[in-house]
């Protein structure tokens, strides 16, 4: 079968499935972050309902756990994410794809079912804190394997099929931010909001599992999956191969078999990296700048327009979280329609490098408290304008890099290339988290 008569993606079913899988990779973690207020509130509550007298040791323990929750949560998220993404780049060829993807989704589903159940169970602060961190480690460990495997799987298909994964991930953040704003507007109890978050995450992850099991039934997907390891032959090459097969079928079979087997066995992670290092370092730099600035710096910007009114309450949820995720999603989704500049263009890494300008721009907004820098961009409009370009460029450029990376290597190396790209994406997240402390100190 040639590329010319390849089956069509009917009703864009494969595209939609990859979108749902992308949504399933980040929605659980986004809902976990959104429920931070719920977790910290559980650390304040008495372990036994009705107890009011706490010893000095118990009070100190609660204060320490509450104050360190966000820092420890970030550490428990980023370290496993980086480690398991790195491991997936090397061991993905030894573990079946179905086991990696379906198994990871199943574990994440079980973790969120447990989390939803524990919302209704009273626990003392220390065990609750430890169990929460264990769940965060599990989610990000299996989420790293899931993300790397999905990008590797999408790498076997045309470049445009990495875009729905990126777009689905963008929607995950948007949905979580919108849910946070709805919770603020409704005034519902934190416990009820958290329970709704976790049940919603369970439903989405379960939908992702069903979608993945439907994927092998798609002729379009099977065509590219079975063609992995050799490029599609042209019409002339196919006719010539048919003639050779008629003349001497015994002569043709061993040559093709040996060549294909040798090609598959000689896949080297480092050799592939040499061909995709520009895309890999670009996506790493994109997320280093993004996570280094958002939300560590951007979340501390204060409105100069609001005067204690409703806008003061909604300024950060709307202008920071919702606006970032909406524009990031728009940037990721645009790559489904436009993929400029090309994968070999010098313009793409230059555009990625220029994003460093957003670091000083946000630092010079009305970030409070501050000790050293002036505030030339005090008005809310400056902050919103910077956020629009910052988030849109993040989504668009990161999606382009993730789409182009696997397309710079042979088709049978695309899955490995996709796993490497996922590792450098996670490396960018980790580096950005580390730099965020430095950026905040400079202000």
pLDDT in tens, 57-67: 556 566 667 66
Distance of alpha carbon 387 from alpha carbon 440, whole angstroms: 17
Backbone φ and ψ for 306, nearest 5 degrees, come out as: -70, 145
Backbone φ and ψ for 363, nearest 5 degrees, come out as: -60, -30
Distance of alpha carbon 159 from alpha carbon 166, whole angstroms: 12
Distance of alpha carbon 173 from alpha carbon 323, whole angstroms: 10
Environment class of residue 375 by beta-carbon count within 10 Å: exposed (0-12), middle (13-18) or buried (19+)?
A: middle
Distance of alpha carbon 32 from alpha carbon 407, whole angstroms: 34
Per-residue pLDDT, 366: 92
The fold adopted by the segment(s) 271-443 is Growth Hormone; Chain: A; (1.20.1250)
In Å, how far from its chain's centre is CA 359? Answer: 21
Per-residue pLDDT, 240: 43
Distance of alpha carbon 8 from alpha carbon 23, whole angstroms: 24
Question: Residue 11 region, left (φ>0) first, then alpha (ψ -120 to 50), else beta?
Answer: left
pTM of the shown model: 0.71
Per-residue pLDDT, 238: 42
How far is the first Cα of the chain from the last one, in angstroms, to the nearest whole number? 60
Instruction: For residue 257, name the pLDDT band (cuts at 50, 70, 90).
Output: very low
Q: Which CATH number fits domain 9-228: 1.20.120.420, 1.20.1250.20, 3.30.360.10, 3.40.50.1860?
A: 1.20.1250.20
Backbone φ and ψ for 187, nearest 5 degrees, come out as: 70, 20
Residue with tokens 């796993």: 419
Question: Residue 380 region, left (φ>0) first, then alpha (ψ -120 to 50), else beta?
Answer: alpha
Distance of alpha carbon 37 from alpha carbon 49, whole angstroms: 20
What are 297-331's pLDDT values in tens digits? 888 888 988 776 778 878 888 898 889 989 998 99
Environment class of residue 391 by beta-carbon count within 10 Å: exposed (0-12), middle (13-18) or buried (19+)?
A: buried
Distance of alpha carbon 229 from alpha carbon 413, whole angstroms: 8
In Å, how far from its chain's centre is CA 340? Answer: 22
Distance of alpha carbon 197 from alpha carbon 22, whole angstroms: 18
CB of 162 closer than 8 Å to CB of 402 = yes
Residue with tokens 């460029």: 393
Distance of alpha carbon 440 from alpha carbon 297, whole angstroms: 6
User: Virtual CA dihedral for 223, 224, 227, 230, nearest 10 degrees?
Assistant: 150
Domain boundaries, the chain: 9-228, 271-443
Mean pLDDT of 226-236: 47
Residue 441 pLDDT > 90, yes or no? no
What are 171-180's pLDDT values in tens digits? 888 887 887 7
CB of 11 closer than 8 Å to CB of 223 = no
Please name which of 39, 144, 145, 42 lies closest in space to residue 95, comparing C-alpha atoms.
145
Task: Kindly report the three-state secondary structure assignment for every residue of 99-143.
Answer: HHHHHHHHHHHHHHHHHHHHCCCCCCHHHHHHHHHHHHHHHHHHH
Q: How far is CA 195 from CA 95, 188, 202, 207, in A?
A: 35, 11, 11, 19
Per-residue pLDDT, 75: 73
Distance of alpha carbon 296 from alpha carbon 287, whole angstroms: 13
What are 28-43's pLDDT values in tens digits? 777 777 676 677 778 7
Find the helix packing angle between 269-293 and 347-354, rounded to 10°: 30
Per-residue pLDDT, 387: 96
CB of 37 closer than 8 Å to CB of 197 = no
DSSP 8-class letter at 266: T
Count the Cβ atoms, other than its own, within 10 Å of residue 438.
10
Distance of alpha carbon 228 from alpha carbon 410, whole angstroms: 9
Backbone φ and ψ for 408, nearest 5 degrees, come out as: -95, 5
Per-residue pLDDT, 3: 54
Per-residue pLDDT, 188: 64
The three-state secondary structure class of 13 is helix
Please tell me which of 44-58, 140-154, 292-306, 376-390 the model is most confident about, judged by mean pLDDT. Answer: 376-390
Please name which of 109, 206, 93 lies closest in space to residue 152, comparing C-alpha atoms.
93
Distance of alpha carbon 225 from alpha carbon 1, whole angstroms: 13
What are 406-427's pLDDT values in tens digits? 888 887 888 788 878 888 988 8
Per-residue pLDDT, 61: 61
Q: Provide the mean pLDDT of the chain.
A: 80
């Amino acid at each position: 079968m040639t590329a010319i008569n390849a089956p069509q993606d009917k009703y864009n079913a494969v595209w939609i499935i990859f979108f749902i899988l992308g949504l399933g990779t980040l929605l659980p973690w986004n809902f976990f972050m959104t429920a931070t207020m719920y977790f910290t509130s559980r650390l304040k509550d008495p372990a036994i309902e009705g107890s009011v007298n706490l010893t000095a040791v118990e009070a100190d323990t609660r204060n320490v756990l509450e104050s360190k929750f966000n820092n420890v949560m970030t550490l428990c998220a980023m370290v496993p994410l980086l480690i398991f993404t790195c491991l997936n780049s090397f061991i993905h060829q030894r573990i079946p794809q179905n086991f990696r993807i379906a198994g990871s989704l199943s574990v994440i589903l079980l973790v969120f079912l447990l989390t939803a159940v524990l919302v209704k169970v009273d626990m003392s602060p220390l065990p609750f804190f430890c169990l929460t961190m264990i769940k965060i480690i599990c989610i990000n460990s299996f989420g790293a394997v899931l993300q790397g495997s999905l990008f590797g799987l999408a790498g076997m298909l045309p470049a445009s099929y990495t875009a729905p994964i990126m777009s689905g991930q963008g929607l995950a953040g948007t949905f979580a931010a919108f849910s946070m704003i709805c919770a603020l507007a409704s005034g519902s109890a934190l416990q009820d909001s958290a329970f709704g978050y976790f049940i919603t995450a369970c439903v989405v992850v379960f939908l992702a599992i069903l979608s993945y099991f439907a994927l092998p039934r798609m002729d379009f997907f099977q065509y590219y999956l079975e063609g992995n390891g050799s490029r599609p032959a042209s019409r002339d090459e196919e006719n010539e191969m048919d003639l050779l097969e008629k003349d001497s079928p015994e002569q043709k079979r061993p040559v093709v078999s040996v060549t294909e087997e040798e090609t598959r066995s000689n896949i080297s992670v480092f050799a592939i990296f040499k061909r995709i290092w520009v895309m890999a370092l670009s996506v790493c730099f994109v997320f280093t700048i993004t996570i280094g600035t958002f939300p560590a710096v951007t979340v501390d910007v204060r409105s100069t327009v609001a005067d204690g009114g409703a806008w003061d309450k909604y300024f950060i949820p709307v202008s920071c979280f919702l606006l970032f995720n909406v524009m990031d999603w728009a940037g990721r989704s645009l790559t489904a329609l436009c993929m400029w500049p090309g994968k070999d263009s010098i313009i793409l890494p230059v555009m990625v490098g220029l994003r460093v300008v957003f670091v000083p721009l946000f630092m010079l907004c009305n970030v409070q408290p501050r000790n050293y820098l002036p505030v030339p961009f005090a008005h809310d409009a400056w902050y919103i304008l910077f956020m629009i370009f910052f988030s849109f460029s993040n989504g668009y450029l990161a999606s382009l890099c993730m789409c182009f990376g696997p397309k710079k290597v042979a088709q049978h190396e695309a899955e490995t290339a996709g796993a490497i790209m996922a590792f450098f994406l996670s490396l960018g997240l980790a580096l950005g988290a580390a730099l965020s402390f430095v950026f905040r100190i400079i202000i």
